[in-house]
Structure 1
Amino acid sequence: MFSFEQTFYENSQWWRLITPMFIHFSFAHLAFNCLWIYILGEKIEKFDGSFVFFCLVIFSAIFSNSLQFFWSNTSLFGGLSGVIYALIGFCMVNEMDSPYGRYDIPPGLYLFMIIWLVLGFLGIVEMFGFGAVANFAHLGGLISGIIFAVVYKFFPLYRSN
Structure 2
Amino acid sequence: MDSKSQYGAWMLELANYFVKEHGYQVITISKNQAEMWLVNVENTKNPIMMITSEPIESLDEMLLLKHRQSLSMVFNVPAQGINLSVSQENDFTNEKNIAIGPDYVSDEAILRDYPRLKTVLKHSQNPERSLNKALNGLRRNLQKAQKQAQRKLLPVTSTIGTVLLVVFLISRILLTQGIKLDVTAVMLGAYYKRFMVDAHQYWRLITAGFVHIDFFHLMMNLIALRNLGTIMERVMGSKKFLFTLLAGIIFGNMFVFITDEAAVGLGISGGLFALMGAMIVYLYESGAFKNRRMLAQIGNILFINLFISMLPGISFMAHLGGFIAGILLGFVFSSRPDWLELRKYMTFLFVGMIVGLAILMTQRAYTEPDLVFDKTVIKAWKDIGLGRYADWLAHRLSL
TM range (shorter): 0.7 to 0.9
CA distance in 2, matches of 1:34, 1:114: 11
> Aligned-pair distance for 1:131?
2.5
What is the number of equivalent residue pairs in this alignment? 144
Q: Give yes or no for the alignment of 1:141 onto 2:329.
A: no
CA distance in 1, matches of 2:203, 2:306: 31
Q: Give yes or no for the alignment of 1:57 onto 2:245.
A: yes
Please tell me whether the aligned partners of residues 72 and 136 of structure 1 are also in contact (alpha carbons under 8 angstroms): no
Partner of 1:108: 299
CA distance in 2, matches of 1:76, 1:114: 21
Which segments of 5 or more consecutive residues in structure 2 lack a partner in the other structure?
1-186, 335-342, 345-399
Larger-Rg structure: 2
Kindly provide the amino acid, as one letter, of the partner of residue 331 in structure 2: V
Offset from partner CA, 1:66-95 (integer Å, 9 cap, x none): 112221343301111111111111100111
Partner of 1:14: 202
Offset from partner CA, 1:10-48 (integer Å, 9 cap, x none): 644231111111122310100010111111012111122
Spell out the pairing of 1:29-48 with structure 2 (5 A cutoff): 29-48=217-236
TM-score with structure 2 setting the length: 0.33
Helix, strand or coil for the counterpart of 1:74? coil
CA distance in 1, matches of 2:227, 2:318: 20
Partner of 1:78: 266
Q: Which has the higher contact order (CA 8 A, sep 6+)?
A: 1
Once structures 1 and 2 are overlaid, which stretch shifts more, 39-48 or 71-80?
71-80
Please tell me whether the aligned partners of residues 288 and 295 of structure 2 are also in contact (alpha carbons under 8 angstroms): no
TM-score with structure 1 setting the length: 0.75
Partner of 1:131: 312
CA distance in 2, matches of 1:46, 1:7: 37
Offset from partner CA, 1:78-131 (integer Å, 9 cap, x none): 111111111111100111121245xx45363476468658xx6xxxx4xxxx42
Please tell me whether the aligned partners of residues 227 and 301 of structure 2 are also in contact (alpha carbons under 8 angstroms): no
- 1:152 pairs with one of 329, 333, 351: 333
- 2:283 pairs with one of 95, 100, 103: 95
Go from structure 1 to structure 2 and tell me whether the alpha carbon gap of 1:32 and 1:110 turns closer, same or farther (over 3 Å shift).
closer
Helix, strand or coil for the counterpart of 2:264? coil
Go from structure 1 to structure 2 and tell me whether the alpha carbon gap of 1:67 and 1:113 turns closer, same or farther (over 3 Å shift).
farther
CA distance in 2, matches of 1:110, 1:39: 6
- Which structure has the highest strand share of the two? 2
CA distance in 2, matches of 1:97, 1:108: 17
> Aligned-pair distance for 1:141?
1.2
Once structures 1 and 2 are overlaid, which stretch shifts more, 29-38 or 61-70?
61-70
CA distance in 2, matches of 1:6, 1:83: 23
Identity %: 30
CA distance in 1, matches of 2:198, 2:235: 40
> Aligned-pair distance for 1:54?
0.9
Runs (4+) of structure 1 moved beyond 6 Å? Answer: none
